[in-house]
Structure 1
Amino acid sequence: MARADFYLIGKPRFREQPLLLVCELARKAVHAGQPLLVLAASAQQAEALDDLMWSFDPDEFLPHQIAGMDEDEDEVEVLIAAPEQSPPLRPLVLNLRDAPVPAGFERVLEVVPADPAARAPLRERWKHYQAQGVELNKFDM
């Protein structure tokens, strides 16, 4: 059964820089041996995330790249896709876009903004996944 995990931003460091939470979730995926597809909301966000993954942990390198840059993207552990890129879904997808991820994943990670006013698209995605029969989980971060 497919699963959707919603991560609610609460800690000050994630409030200040929500993409840090994305890096932490990507690191967990890499450590677990699960290739991750990150669906970025914009090309600028994809580039910002790419930059942050180089620097967020000076002691560890997260193998990552932006989709469309290299033929070997099937091999890279963390693939970041801007909206104009549509690489094949992976079993594990981290969604930063407003639209829900179409069926085909085993597990989707959704990052919920700290600002309650920005949460409407997340509520819609929760309802969408619920209607698809996806198992739902919520985590405070």
Structure 2
Amino acid sequence: MTTRVGFYHLQRSTLDQTLPRLVQKALEGGHRVLVMAGSAERVAHLEALLWTWQPDSWLPHGKAGDADAALQPVLLTHQDDNGNSADILILTDGVVSSQMDRFDRCLSLFDGNDDEAVMKARDLWREWKTRGWSLTYYQQTERGGWEEKARADG
């Protein structure tokens, strides 16, 4: 199985606006999701976000270390561990997992207004391309949707 990675270049919306929509879409597709953040504080922030992102609904999730973490359809963590047997990995805050080849699909979200984040994404593209992974680069459109801009097939 070839590792598939989607790079999501956020330009019109923030991670807080984008992440819940991507998680919801994955859940609607019957997937289990692992979201990796850069720190325990970021995990706490994302947990609050998923509880409150829409006034009339929430996204079912848990945090790594919770008693029922393995049962959660969405698990938030800052550790490199697939505690809920997810098939989709979402990377935030510039984190990288050593287990990316164990997921059906990985999404790397980065802030297009942060030059350092853009440079890191470019470096990761080059590195992961040498591994033979299937890469797709999506740029956010004026209306907030996604347009495929580049592809490198593994």
Q: Alpha-carbon deviation of 1:105?
A: 1.6
Alignment of 1:28-39 (within 5 A): 28-39=25-36
* Residue 76 of structure 2 corresponds to residue 77 of structure 1: no
Which has the bigger relative contact order, CA under 8 A and spacing at least 6? 1
- Residue in structure 2 matched with residue 107 of structure 1 by the alignment: 105
- Cα 1:41–1:109 change in 2 (3 A) is same
Counterparts of 1:100 and 1:87 in 2: how far apart (Å)? 13
Q: Alpha-carbon deviation of 1:112?
A: 1.8
Q: Which amino acid letter does the alignment assign opposite residue 50 of structure 2?
A: M
Counterparts of 2:46 and 2:139 in 1: how far apart (Å)? 21
Q: Is the 8 A contact 2:36 2:95 kept in 1?
A: no
State which drifts further: 123-132 or 94-103.
94-103
- Cα 1:98–1:112 change in 2 (3 A) is closer
Alignment of 1:57-96 (within 5 A): 57-70=54-67, 72-83=68-79, 86-88=81-83, 90-96=86-92
Q: Alpha-carbon deviation of 1:124?
A: 1.9
- Residue in structure 1 matched with residue 4 of structure 2 by the alignment: 3
Counterparts of 1:99 and 1:132 in 2: how far apart (Å)? 18
* Residue 45 of structure 2 corresponds to residue 45 of structure 1: no
- Residue in structure 1 matched with residue 17 of structure 2 by the alignment: 20
Normalised by the size of structure 2, how large is the TM-score? 0.79
Q: Which sections of structure 2, spanning at least 5 residues, go unmatched?
A: 141-154
- Residue in structure 1 matched with residue 135 of structure 2 by the alignment: 136
RMSD: 1.8
> Percent of aligned positions with the same letter in both sequences?
24
Q: Which sections of structure 1, spanning at least 5 residues, go unmatched?
A: none
SS at match of 1:126: helix
Q: Which amino acid letter does the alignment assign opposite residue 82 of structure 1?
A: H
Normalised by the size of structure 1, how large is the TM-score? 0.85
Larger proportion of helix? 1
Q: Is the 8 A contact 2:94 2:110 kept in 1?
A: no
